Amino acid sequence: MSQPTPLQAATRQVGPPNGPSGLTRFKAAAFGLAARTIYNPAWGLSAVRALLSVSNAYPRPLMRLLNPGLAHEVVEGAVHGEWFALPDHRPGCTMLYLHGGGYIMGAPDQWRAMALTMARASRCRVFLPRYRLAPEHPHPAAVEDGVAAFRWLLDQGERVVLAGDSAGGALALQVLFAARDQGLPAPAGVVAHSPFADKTLGADSIHRNAATDRVLWPAYIRWVRDTCVCGQDPTDPGISPLFQDYTASPPLLITVGSHECLQDDGAAVAERALAAGVDVQLLVGHGAQHVFPILLPGSGAAVEALAAVGAFCDRVCAETTPPE
């Protein structure tokens, strides 16, 4: 029997072997219908942003009523965002969570439910920063804001796990490398859900999984790419973190759905990091969709993936020395 490749050895399938339950498939279909209605490029970017704001908003008073101590707003210099801290959170280790939205939409108030899911899974305090959006603020604006938030957390003596979903998952990687280039301490680890890591759109899964992805589709991905890249070179490693040098990077946990268009983006990051000697876990949700751990957190695949996030944060936070 042939030996598994490094990528195969680092990959774990999560979720029921026969695929999602009927209820999960129904929820995915309903979510996908809503997503494809809201994210339709035909509406224009301003309308899509407005629809997303209405559909995703989780009012802070309601969150505080249901979850006391959450959604504490921060405005300090260039750092704007919200804290999420459960009563039993681990001390001294914070998750810097970067929201998705293709770099062109989204805000902390629209990602509160996702941040709460990650706070529960990781037992970390979660800081959800606001960052500038393209095309009004082209690259590297979002990266600069992410690094500013990372530096701010380091200055408080926190060990930091970088995390994010979709474009936010890629942005977590971009912040990792930008911070490295500025001589900042490395984060404890990185958790990237379905990272949009290759702006050249070179992933075969964009077309291979077009018929099974309920959330994304090729024309939408191209529209997002064209809008966020703003005419810059998509092969620039600062824009497409897939092409970075991963040597000496901290541990990575990457999740992708086997039915999503960005499956190969996450797998390619994992493979490149493994080739550089990085500690990598790649979780593939069997029959799962884009950003499945936080968009469908009750599904079998998501439950396993979120448990892995908790174990990952336990390990990397214990192994990392707090910054001085």
Q: Please list the active-site residues.
A: 166, 260, 290
Cα torsion 73, 77, 79, 83 to 10°: value is -30
Instruction: Give bridge partners of residue 284 from the DSSP assignment.
Output: 13, 256
Q: In what order do the strands lie in the sheet with 252-257?
A: 11-14, 280-285, 252-257, 189-193, 159-165, 93-98, 125-129, 79-84, 72-76
- 245, with CB counted inside 10 A (0-12, 13-18, 19+), is exposed
User: What one-character-per-residue DSSP string does 58-107 give?
Assistant: --HHHHHHHSTT--EEEEETTEEEEEE--TTPPTTEEEEEE--STTTS--
15-36 in b/e burial notation, b at 16+ Cβ within 10 A? beeebbeeebbebbeebbeebe
For residue 61, whether the previous peptide bond is cis, meaning omega lies within 30 degrees of 0, is: no
Bridge partners for 144 per DSSP: none
48 Cβ neighbours under 8 A, 6+ residues apart: 38, 39, 40, 41, 105
For the chain, the straight-line distance linking the first and the last C-alpha, in angstroms and rounded, comes to: 49
d(CA 233, CA 19): 39
SS3 253: strand
